[in-house]
Homo-oligomer: A and B are copies of this chain.
Amino acid sequence: MLTGVIIMVKYPSGSLPIFQKDFKQPKIRKAYHHKKEVNFSDRGMTLEQQINESNQYYLEKGIAVVHKKPTPIQIVKVDYPRRSKAVIKEAYFRQASTTDYNGVYQGFYLDFEAKETRNKTNFPLKNFHEHQIYHLDACLKQAGICFTIIGFTSLKRYFVTPASFVISKWHEKNSSSMTLEEIENNSIEIKSGFHPTLPYLEAVDQFIADRKMNNGK
């Protein structure tokens, strides 16, 4: 039996980074303010934590509204102890039908999946689930801005890759991974930073600019 730990950090998404054995509570930024020389790069946070912190920053600053979707759970049994709140006593993880993140930025619909790998030379495509690829494709057809954020944790490098490229690689025969070089050539690299932790909207700005140029809008 594995017993998770309740982590009381409130994530903007309403979702907890559960079951991460090495989860560290994100350090409070203010404590860093005087140490300009420190390298803030990712601060030992998982990619999910970095994105959640970035989304919180974007939300508080009125820049964008992006949330992580809660994990879908199938609830079977609930207890209502007297004077106490409901306790779920039996439930199961369910398969999601979408990506983890979506939201709105300057009128644009954003939809993305985030994945990290310890691999240094390529990103295995099996890390994406079929439903995520299908969902990204469906959102692309509705003119959403769809992408993936891939983190090479060993290299501390982060790439925002248009979903169109990932989908085409996914459907490519005999292709089980994207090489780092392919990702470099087809993505916008973002640097893990401070405010926000992972400024992925910089890449989105580029996608929007490209789209406007292509559409003549």
Contact of A138 among B1, B65, B141 (CB under 8 A): B65
CA distance in complex: A53, B76 (Å): 22
Asked if A155 lies at the interface with its beta carbon under 8 angstroms from chain B, I say: no
Q: Check if A31 is an interface residue, CB within 8 A of chain B.
A: no
Q: Interface 1/0s, chain A 77-93, versus B by CB < 8 A?
A: 11110000111111111
Verify B87–A88 contact, CB threshold 8 A: no
Does any Cβ of B come within 8 Å of A186's Cβ?
no
Task: Evaluate contact between A78 and B15: CB separation under 8 angstroms.
Answer: no
Q: Which of B18, B98, B109 contacts A75 (CB 8 A)?
A: B18
Asked if residues A85 and B93 are in contact (CB atoms below 8 Å), the reply is yes
Q: Please give, as numbers and ranges, the residues of chain B lying within 8 Å of A105 by CB-CB distance.
A: 142
Residues in B neighbouring A104, C-beta threshold 8 A: 109, 111, 139, 142-144
> Is A107 engaged at the interface, CB distance under 8 Å to the other chain?
yes
What residues of chain B lie closer than 8 Å to A28, measured between beta carbons?
none
Does the CB pair B92–A89 fall under 8 Å?
Answer: no
How far apart sit A86 and B71, CA to CA, in the bound complex (Å)? 14
| Contact of A86 with B93 in the complex, beta carbons under 8 Å | yes
Q: Is A34 an interface residue (CB 8 A)?
A: no
Q: Do residues B91 and A14 form an inter-chain contact, with CB atoms below 8 A?
A: no
- Whether B16 pairs with A75 at a CB distance below 8 angstroms is yes
Judged by a CB distance under 8 angstroms, whether A168 is at the interface is no
List 17 other contacts, CB 8 Å, given A1-B79, A62-B141.
A2-B79, A14-B96, A16-B74, A65-B135, A65-B138, A65-B139, A65-B144, A67-B97, A70-B72, A73-B73, A73-B88, A87-B90, A88-B88, A103-B109, A104-B142, A107-B142, A109-B109
